[in-house]
Amino acid sequence: MVRLLLASLVLTLASPALAAETLTIYSGRNEKLVGPLLKKFTEKTGVEVKVRYGETPQLAATLLEEGAKTPADVFFAQDAGALGALAKAGQLQVLPKETLDKVDARFRSPQGVWVGTSGRARVVAYNTKKVKADTLPKSILGFTDAKWKGRLGWAPTNASFQSFVTALRLLKGDEAATQWLKGIQANAPRVYKNNSAIIEALGRGEIDAGFVNHYYLYSAKKNKADLPVANYFVAAGDPGALVNVAGVAILKGSKNTAAAKKLAAYLLDAEAQTYFAQETSEFPLVSGVKLAEGLPPLDKVGSPDLDLSKLDDLRGTVKLLQDTGVL
Amino acid sequence: MIRRAPVGLWVAGVAMAALALVPAIYLCVRAAEADADAWGLLLRDKTWGLLGRTLGLAAAVTGCAALLSLPLAWLTARTDLPGRRLWTVLLCVPLAVPTFVSGYVLLAAFGVGGALEEPLTRWGLPVPPVYGFPGALLALTVSTYPYFFLALRAGLQSQDPAWLEGARSLGLTPARAFFRITVPLLRPAFASGALLVGLYVLSDFGAVALVQYDAFSRAIYVQYEGAYDRSYAALLGLALVSVTVGVLALELWLRGRAGYHRSAKGAARASSPVLLGRWRVPALLLCGAVVAVGVGLPVGVLVYWGVQGLSVDSGPMMGPAWNSVSASMLGAVAAVVGALPLAFLAVRYPSRLTVALERVSYAGYALPPIVLALSLVFLGVQAVPFLYGTLVMLVLAYVVRFLPQAVGVVRASLLQLNPHLPEAAASLGQPPSGVLRRVTAPLLRPGLLAGAALVFLTAMKELPATLLLAPIGFETLATRVWGATAEGRFAEAALPALVLMAVSTLGVGLLVSQEGGSSPS
């Protein structure tokens, strides 16, 4: 036993350097989703990949800790906030213009250091046995109505929820954001850890409606087809219709920039974009790619007119959430 | 007689203490970058309210876990309970249930619309509360009582039966003798269990978040996850470290200076088991009920999830299982070996300094695991870049995270070991290595094994450090389960979670079967 353990230890120690063109990726996106796509990338380009999977914020914190000494070439993040934090720390390098230009300016960094690869819309998921879609308010602001008391669920620690609150602050002002948060608080929402937990609770009927990203429902339905939950898109232009992105960036410390740029380009290639659309029901960010069934087109969702990079006052949002007693 | 500790022991002890201080040092470095705003946030009322709530929860869980564990430990260590070893193993298994599973399990069973909610209500039975404070109390008691159970069991096994026999011969009834002799002698075991449970509750995020209880750890997570603000998170982390120091000082004061080892001539015998007689059935019912809630429920829910998605491909299990076992075993062995010098110094050469060294090992235990993982990233990148990204870093992380578990149990057993026995061996011409190998180690065996079992079980399910510090591509059962539950694919999580529990059970079974002669047979 001990000998076997030692042998495996030695093997692990001795194996860091393998092929010449190997790309190290930190992925905040799930292996189940990204793994097959990266395999296709390797087949296509011959570039081997090594991936550290984890939660986006925790990987971002790790990258911030590692600084210039990071072994990572590429960071593939669940949300723009994490990419923005690394951009602010000056740890990202500028991407090629032809890659950036494929995506609407709203969904990429103005300095060109990160680019969105797929979109996820904020939606209201609801239990179809307990709520009729036509009784749902047109605006996210409508959920402060007292008739929603005890029926709502949210995940205020979640990064995508906080991005939405930041958007709400920018679009309607801090005062309105405070009022909305207080209004929802007054309706005694149940507090969940993340989007998956909200969908799970909706399935059991613990709550009637919850604020989530649109695509969690589809992966949950793959596991349980008869889940009585559906997505509701609020009116276009509403802060509640915010479309956030998962995105990719190349680290400044990368010694493998050429291969890293190939990967960034590949993720915006028609093949990868179709994959995101079909496999995870996300919104492709490059035009001309077919959407998953049942999804409205991105311009119909009508994300408010806001550059995602403007959503960088994360600390201000957390403070607001704390001041209103949400956190 | 004033004895001085050998230099080697000092070096080893100081090195382990320095390693244990890494998280605190990291937090100081990051907190130094904090601005006035962050200090303002730290000092606001809500922070203190949260801390108070969390301390209350920690105290309640500690109390409940102790009350639950004492009878269980006594039954499995001192009586003729049928299937004692099997019960021992099963009663440890709740430690192996990852918190991100156990939280869901309670909700899926007893939550609104849960699988057992409706049948219980129909039969007019009470549905256990699973939300807020009662929910957190239930979830955390069920998942942490084995800390107490293992510590108390090791304590009971190493206890010299002559104490109890003496008390009985002086006319105490069995019950009074138990409460006046056996229980007070377990004070070190209670202390080590209480520290582990209480500080663990402070650090927990998984369970409290799922049952919707607002705890201090959440404030820290929010800074990392929402604001990417490491300096404010560090200030909050240091607040937890200060609380830990307070708790450790309190425990030290309560502990006193009593001796716990046998002082008479000769070696301790194994105690003869108490015959349960007609109490056998209630005893079995108690063990069965605890196992049903702590093991049966999670297994049931996991099987239910798994059956719903039988067609789901969970991927091969052997590789991740092997990775889990090898990393956790290395962590367990390293933590117990690392705990020895600290426990020896504090017990055999007690002075302010040696006791402080032993206490230091707890410094990071109340911190949320993500803080610990990041501090190891910091250590790796800044100090030992050639080890960064290798399995060594992960094992180091397990040692830093779980050292207190090993120290607590090893220390408690060492206190019960009469120092004259190794001294006698030395006077009979045994070299120090021989004394350790032939006298001290065999006598310490229950403690060492209990410590290793604890570390192994908890390392098996450890997450943030495993994700961030393992060699890239090093997949374990825990990371597999995480990968599936993070996206709500519960059916896919079921199989790796069940394998995780099965492998952990086997591991503990192996350790318990090594216990040998000190248990009644």
DSSP A13-48: HH-S---SSEEEEEE-S-HHHHHHHHHHHHHHH--E
**Sign for the pseudo-dihedral over CA of B164, B166, B172, B174:** positive
Residues of the domain holding B14: 7-257+279-518
Q: Which residues of A touch B464 (CB under 8 A)?
A: 54, 58
Q: State residue A261's pLDDT score.
A: 96
Quick check: A58 and B467 CB within 8 A? yes
> Distance between CA atoms of B209 and B114, rounded to whole angstroms?
18
Non-local CB neighbours of A93 within 8 Å, separated by 6+ positions = A113, A250, A251, A252, A254, A257
Question: Binding site annotation covers A215?
Answer: yes
Q: Inform me whether the pLDDT recorded for B158 exceeds 80.
A: no
Q: Which residues of A touch B229 (CB under 8 A)?
A: 314-315, 318
Query: In this structure, are residues B290 and B179 in contact, taking their beta carbons and an 8 Å threshold?
Result: no
Query: In this structure, are residues B496 and B486 in contact, taking their beta carbons and an 8 Å threshold?
Result: no
Digit-coded pLDDT (tens) for A37-50 = 999 999 999 999 99
Query: In this structure, are residues B397 and B373 in contact, taking their beta carbons and an 8 Å threshold?
Result: yes
Dihedral (Cα; B240, B246, B252, B254), 10-degree rounding: -120
> Considering the domain boundaries, does residue B45 fall inside one?
yes
Mean pLDDT of B203-220: 82
Nearest residue of B to residue A215, measured between CA atoms: B487
Q: Which residues of B touch A317 (CB under 8 A)?
A: 226-227
Burial of A145 (0-12, 13-18, 19+ CB in 10 A): exposed
> Considering the domain boundaries, does residue B262 fall inside one?
no
Distances (CA, A) of B99 to A202, B232, B320: 21, 26, 19
Is any Cβ of chain A less than 8 angstroms from the Cβ of B374? yes
> Distance between CA atoms of B454 and B450, rounded to whole angstroms?
6
Q: Given the structure tokens 């070991």, which residue do they identify?
A: B417
Digit-coded pLDDT (tens) for B24-56 = 999 999 999 888 877 877 777 778 888 899 999
> Distance between CA atoms of B337 and B236, rounded to whole angstroms?
32
Non-local CB neighbours of B34 within 8 Å, separated by 6+ positions = B231, B232, B234, B235
Provide the shortest C-alpha distance from residue B214 to chain A (in Å).
8
Query: In this structure, are residues A57 and B228 in contact, taking their beta carbons and an 8 Å threshold?
Result: yes
Q: Which residues of B touch A65 (CB under 8 A)?
A: 230, 374, 377-378, 381
Digit-coded pLDDT (tens) for B333-351 = 999 999 999 999 999 898 9
DSSP B61-124: HHHHHHHHHHHHHHHHHHB--TTHHHHHHHHHGGGGS-HHHHHHHHHHHHSTT-TTHHHHHHTT
At residue B328, what is the residue type?
S
Pairs across A and B, CB distance < 8 A: 175
Q: Which of A318, A320, A321, A326 to mutate to test the interface with B (most CBs of B within 10 A)?
A: A318
> Distance between CA atoms of B213 and A85, rounded to whole angstroms?
29
Side-chain half-sphere CA neighbours of B64 within 13 A: 18
> Considering the domain boundaries, does residue B51 fall inside one?
yes
Nearest to B222, CA basis, from A194, A225, A197: A194
Query: In this structure, are residues A283 and A294 in contact, taking their beta carbons and an 8 Å threshold?
Result: no
> Considering the domain boundaries, does residue B193 fall inside one?
yes
Nearest residue of A to residue B29, measured between CA atoms: A65
Nearest residue of B to residue A315, measured between CA atoms: B227
Query: In this structure, are residues B358 and B338 in contact, taking their beta carbons and an 8 Å threshold?
Result: no
Distances (CA, A) of B88 to A57, A173, A278, B82, B182: 39, 59, 49, 11, 20
Q: Inform me whether the pLDDT recorded for B521 exceeds 50.
A: no
Domains and CATH numbers, chain A: 15-117+245-295 (3.40.190.10), 120-242+313-323 (3.40.190.10)
Nearest residue of B to residue A319, measured between CA atoms: B41
Q: Inform me whether the pLDDT recorded for B91 exceeds 90.
A: yes
Q: Which residues of A touch B212 (CB under 8 A)?
A: 190-192
> Distance between CA atoms of B304 and B310, rounded to whole angstroms?
10
Q: Which residues of B touch A153 (CB under 8 A)?
A: none
The shortest CB-CB distance from A204 to any of B41, B111, B472 is to: B111
Q: How confident is the model at residue B178 (pLDDT cuts 50, 70, 90)?
A: confident
Dihedral (Cα; A314, A315, A321, A323), 10-degree rounding: -160
Non-local CB neighbours of A82 within 8 Å, separated by 6+ positions = A28, A56, A57, A59, A60, A75, A159, B228
Of the two residues B302 and B127, the one the predictor is more confident about is B302
Non-local CB neighbours of B173 within 8 Å, separated by 6+ positions = none
Quick check: A65 and B377 CB within 8 A? yes
Burial code (b: 16+ CB inside 10 Å, e: under 16) for B264-276 equals eeeebeebeebeb
Quick check: A51 and B224 CB within 8 A? no
Mean pLDDT of A167-188: 94
**What are the phi and psi torsion angles at B271 (to 5°)?**
-80, 150
Q: State residue A18's pLDDT score.
A: 43
Q: State residue B128's pLDDT score.
A: 76
**What are the phi and psi torsion angles at B327 (to 5°)?**
-65, -40
Relative to beta strand A209-213, strand A74-77 is unpaired
- The tally of domains found in chain B comes to 1
Query: Is the ipTM above a cut-off of 0.85?
Result: yes
Q: Given the structure tokens 């807020």, which residue do they identify?
A: B132
Is any Cβ of chain A less than 8 angstroms from the Cβ of B111? yes
Mean pLDDT of B284-290: 94
Mean pLDDT of A241-259: 94
Provide the shortest C-alpha distance from residue A125 to chain B (in Å).
15
Structure tokens at B210: 């799922």
The shortest CB-CB distance from A65 to any of B37, B381, B485 is to: B381
DSSP B291-337: HIIIIIHHHHHHHHHHHHTTTS-----HHHHHHHHHHHHHHHHHHHH
Side-chain half-sphere CA neighbours of B448 within 13 A: 18
Distances (CA, A) of B192 to B62, B152, B441, B508: 11, 9, 20, 20
Mean pLDDT, chain B, whole residue set: 86
What's this model's pTM, rounded to 2 decimal places?
0.89
Structure tokens at B370: 């993500």
Query: In this structure, are residues A272 and A99 in contact, taking their beta carbons and an 8 Å threshold?
Result: no
> Considering the domain boundaries, does residue B264 fall inside one?
no
> Considering the domain boundaries, does residue B133 fall inside one?
yes
Is any Cβ of chain A less than 8 angstroms from the Cβ of B381? yes
Provide the shortest C-alpha distance from residue B324 to chain A (in Å).
12
Q: How confident is the model at residue B159 (pLDDT cuts 50, 70, 90)?
A: confident
> Considering the domain boundaries, does residue B1 fall inside one?
no
Non-local CB neighbours of A293 within 8 Å, separated by 6+ positions = none
> Distance between CA atoms of B157 and B160, rounded to whole angstroms?
8
Query: In this structure, are residues B361 and B195 in contact, taking their beta carbons and an 8 Å threshold?
Result: no
Relative to beta strand A22-27, strand A48-53 is parallel
Digit-coded pLDDT (tens) for B406-446 = 998 888 888 888 888 888 888 888 888 888 888 888 888 87
> Distance between CA atoms of B15 and B338, rounded to whole angstroms?
9
Nearest to A266, CA basis, from A56, A74, A10: A74
Q: Which residues of A touch B485 (CB under 8 A)?
A: 196
Q: Which of B107, B118, B228 to mutate to test the interface with A (most CBs of A within 10 A)?
A: B228
Quick check: B210 and A197 CB within 8 A? yes
Q: State residue B131's pLDDT score.
A: 81
Question: Binding site annotation covers A275?
Answer: no
Distances (CA, A) of A43 to A38, A40, B371: 9, 5, 38
Nearest residue of A to residue B390, measured between CA atoms: A13
DSSP B359-420: HHTTTTTTS-HHHHHHHHHHHHHHT-TTTTTSHHHHHHHHHHHHHHHHHHHHHHHHHTS-TH
Q: Which residues of A touch B489 (CB under 8 A)?
A: 32, 219-220, 222-223
Name residues 142-171 of chain B within 8 A of A (Cβ).
none
Mean pLDDT of B9-28: 95
> Distance between CA atoms of B195 and B248, rounded to whole angstroms?
8
Quick check: B227 and A314 CB within 8 A? yes
Structure tokens at B214: 């607002």
Q: Inform me whether the pLDDT recorded for B10 exceeds 50.
A: yes
> Considering the domain boundaries, does residue B459 fall inside one?
yes
Q: State residue B157's pLDDT score.
A: 82
Which CATH number do you get for residue B407? 1.10.3720.10
DSSP B411-449: HHHHHTS-THHHHHHHHTT--HHHHIIIIIHHHHHHHHH
What beta strand segments (E) does chain A contain?
A: 22-27, 48-53, 74-77, 92-93, 114-127, 152-154, 190-191, 209-213, 229-232, 243-251, 283-284
Instruction: Find the range with the poorest average confidence among A128-132, A193-197, A293-297, B308-312.
Output: B308-312
Q: State residue A17's pLDDT score.
A: 44
Nearest to A285, CA basis, from A295, A294, A299: A299
